[in-house]
Amino acid sequence: MLFSKKDKKEDLHRVLPFVDFHDDMTISADGTISIQFKTTLAFQEQYTEQQYIDWTHILASSMKELPCNSLVQQVDIYYPDQWHNPSIDSNKLDFLKQKQVRHTEGRPILHHESYIILSFPGLYKNYTPLSTFYSRDETKSFSKNPFAHLEKRLTIAKKDAAQFRQSVSTHLPLTPLTAGEFSHLIHRCLSLNFEDPEGNLYGGLVKNKEYVQVANRKAQVISLIESSIEPSYTVLDKFGHNGGVCAPLTDGLGRSLNFPHIISRVIRMIDSEAFLKKHFNSFAWSEATKLDERKLQNIRHIRGEMAEFEQTLCGETNQLSIYLF
């Protein structure tokens, strides 16, 4: 939340969740330690559906090695730009290459940048993210010191992040962001001025019931509230023959939207046993308090699905599961 209910105006440094940019790590007001990377993207058209599935399983295995309650966030930003060919001597190119260079120079493109942010909460773990960067702001008060044992936690977080980076490096090369680079990224996301590498803010953020106005732009947040039971990995991008080639499931939210926008996905590692116990207790209470037969059937159906889910988790050696919000 960028604004409290009572105050309609806040200084930006008061509502941003980050209190310190420490080398290549970031410390939030609630004690969360974040380590951020820029990803080196490949040409997605070269992958088959099976390769997408295999890559998803590799990434899931790498995430399961992270500590419980860790968060993995992927931030993709898209903005219109112009294509500029690399500096080359056109006289050294053959006729067709020269034509190709001239044809593509200055053409409109949709620029894409992707970032991975690993976060390790401290004392305050079990809460829903309040912003794109899922941290509480500085205006909140904490009953316990969120920075207890900070030096030790920084060392452990750095080690876990290095291990994760190494495990995915074959398919997803990650380049660490410095504190300054991450600060600029945050300001670029806030200003929606992605072309400015410094991420300067030229105006305030004004809230409205349906949008937030950033300088002369109106921004809306659209959240995924549920997904299908059966996982989907790819879609056809509609470019080329036979409906197109394989693309990631979220391709329709990426290259298909020709205006500045951000896609944020957060995955949280949870304790499977605690998660199931909490939800089974909730379902039992709901079933005991429901009088309507239709609502009872819905609750029983969900409990049955949860029982099947529990059997799947019990068959895994690693007792951590992934919770997506």
137-154 pLDDT, tens per residue? Answer: 444 566 778 888 889 999
Please give the residue that has the higher pLDDT: either 210 or 164.
164
Percent of the chain with pLDDT over 90: 14
Q: What is the pLDDT of residues 49-90, one digit of tens each?
A: 888 888 888 888 899 899 988 989 999 999 888 888 777 766
Q: Give mean pLDDT, residues 179-207.
A: 78
- Across 12-21, 104-113, 212-221, 241-250, the highest mean pLDDT is recorded for 104-113
Contact predicate 186/193, CB 8 Å: no
pLDDT band with cut points at 50, 70 and 90 for residue 321: very low
Among residues 260, 182, 234, the alpha carbon closest in space to that of 18 is found at: 182
pLDDT on residue 158: 94
Domain coverage including residue 204? 12-271+318-324
pLDDT on residue 175: 95
Give the separation between CA 15 and CA 127, rounded to whole angstroms: 18
The structure's pTM equals 0.77
- Is residue 279, in this structure, part of any structural domain at all? no
Amino acid letter at 202? Y
Q: Give mean pLDDT, residues 112-117.
A: 92
Q: What is the DSSP string of 86-142?
A: ----GGGS-HHHHHHHHHHTT-EEEEEEEEEEEEE--S--SS---STT----TTS--
Burial letters for 276-306: b for 16+ Cβ neighbours within 10 Å, e otherwise? beeeeeeeeeeeeeeeeeeeeeebeeeeeee
Give the separation between CA 79 and CA 94, rounded to whole angstroms: 33
Instruction: Name the domain count of the chain.
Output: 1
Checking if the pLDDT of 204 tops 90, the result is: no
Checking if the pLDDT of 111 tops 80, the result is: yes
pLDDT on residue 156: 94
- Is residue 99, in this structure, part of any structural domain at all? yes
Checking if the pLDDT of 261 tops 70, the result is: yes
- Is residue 91, in this structure, part of any structural domain at all? yes
Please give the residue that has the higher pLDDT: either 313 or 217.
217
Q: Give mean pLDDT, residues 18-40.
A: 86
Q: What is the pLDDT of residues 191-201, one digit of tens each?
A: 777 877 776 77
- Is residue 111, in this structure, part of any structural domain at all? yes
- Which helix (H) or strand (E) covers residue 240, if one does? none
Checking if the pLDDT of 281 tops 50, the result is: yes
- Is residue 6, in this structure, part of any structural domain at all? no
- Cα–Cα–Cα angle for 17, 18, 22, nearest 5°? 165
Contact predicate 18/28, CB 8 Å: yes
- Is residue 277, in this structure, part of any structural domain at all? no
Percent of the chain with pLDDT over 70: 68
- Is residue 27, in this structure, part of any structural domain at all? yes
